Amino acid sequence: MSRPIRRTLLASAVASLAVMTLAGCSLAADASSSSDSSANSTVYFGVSAAETGQYAQYGEQFKQAFDLAVEQVNANGGIDGHPVALKYEDSQSDPKQSVTVAQKFVADPDVILVFGDYSSAASIPASPIYTSGKLLQYGFNNSNADFTEKGTDYQWSSSTTTADEYVWEADYIKDQGVDSIGVTYLNTSDWGIPAYDAFKAEADKIGLKITDAEAVDPTSDDYRPSLTKAVAGDPEAFAHLGYGPDSAKLVTQLRAIGYTGTFYGGQDEQSFDETPDAEGSVIPAQFVASNPDEAVQAFVTAFQAKYPDDKDVTSFEAGAYDALNIAVAAAKAGGTTRAGILKGFQEIKDVPSVVYGSVTFDPQTRRILNPQFTPTILKDGTWVTLDK
């Protein structure tokens, strides 16, 4: 926990208080891990996510999926008779806020696991707090490899890494017969720059020429200067290594300056709603709502029944839905305490998943074993799979 720096005699007093507070948090964590909850008591998971701010869209998508999954779990008996409930805290997906949220969850002995945060940039600074509180931090959306590689046994993720995704994308683009590509990427150290580094390394390896690469601000409303530079070399195709909202703006402006090549990019399908210029865009996906798989269609049907105003069911909702069910499986396997659910994550295998089919973690990396991507294209306003 961070504490303001005091001067002279107050410094030692505050320092002592901070140590006592940390000890208290640790004791609370240990107490919550010592035995299973009493019969039929509620099992609480925390959610650190953006309810307001720049990434509130994703926080809402996560909440919808979490709430649906909780309803289904409780309708089927909960966790061995224990109902499940969620405690939400608004982190704004901001590193400072996520640390404060982590402190609050660690101090709450009822919470046995925390989902989040949306971005690795917000999750990683909070990780030491969760580790010190022996509280599992399930960064199910965190693709930055550092989240788990530099984390501890208390950091787990069912997201593929940034390198996984963009090595695959470079290979796929080359396999389509493309020899040259213009690139933009988010100028963010936690995600955009590592994404570009992985993409460029693979492109260099396989002979995919990057005619120009431009770093862009994810909050910008005008990408045209960067786009003009990126297409000046007349690349055969164009890739944006970014999120959904910036991709939707960027592809519209890319078409406005006259570029007609295939656009690869954007993570969130829903962000392309009402974006006619995105037609024909291609993204790597792990979840496609049109997948005829019985489990996928059951999820999509249930989601749309609960939220009839939502046109699309995306990988963000699917990932959160999976995460809740994976956490429940771990609690069933290991117990409804902080120590128990950690044990469960280390042991669960072949958990049903609408994203992956089934989930088994590598206990060393604390990530999914052998994740796969599916190329999808926006066709007539709907995302459908492409033949590899």
- Specify the pLDDT at position 274: 77
Q: How many helices (H) and strands (E) does the chain have?
A: 12, 16
Where do the DSSP E strands lie in 276-356?
282-285, 351-353
Least confident among 42-46, 69-73, 186-190, 201-205: 186-190
pLDDT band at 39 (very low <50, low <70, confident <90, very high): low
More confident site: 117 or 25: 117
The model carries a pTM of 0.74
- Specify the pLDDT at position 245: 84
What residues form DSSP beta bridges with 370? Answer: none
SS3 content of the chain, % helix, strand, coil (to 5): 45, 20, 35
Spatial separation of the C-alpha atoms in residues 324 and 45, rounded to whole Å: 9
pLDDT at 20 over 50: no
What are the pLDDT digits (tens) for 299-315?
Answer: 999 999 999 998 889 88
Which pair of tokens denotes residue 129? Answer: 């707090």
Q: Exposure string (b/e) for 29-45, b if CB count within 10 Å is 16 or more?
A: beebbeebbeeeeebbb
- H helix or E strand, kind and range, residue 22: helix 8-34
- Specify the pLDDT at position 3: 34
Which pair of tokens denotes residue 50? Answer: 């953006």
Query: Looking at residues 228-249, what average pLDDT do you find?
Result: 94
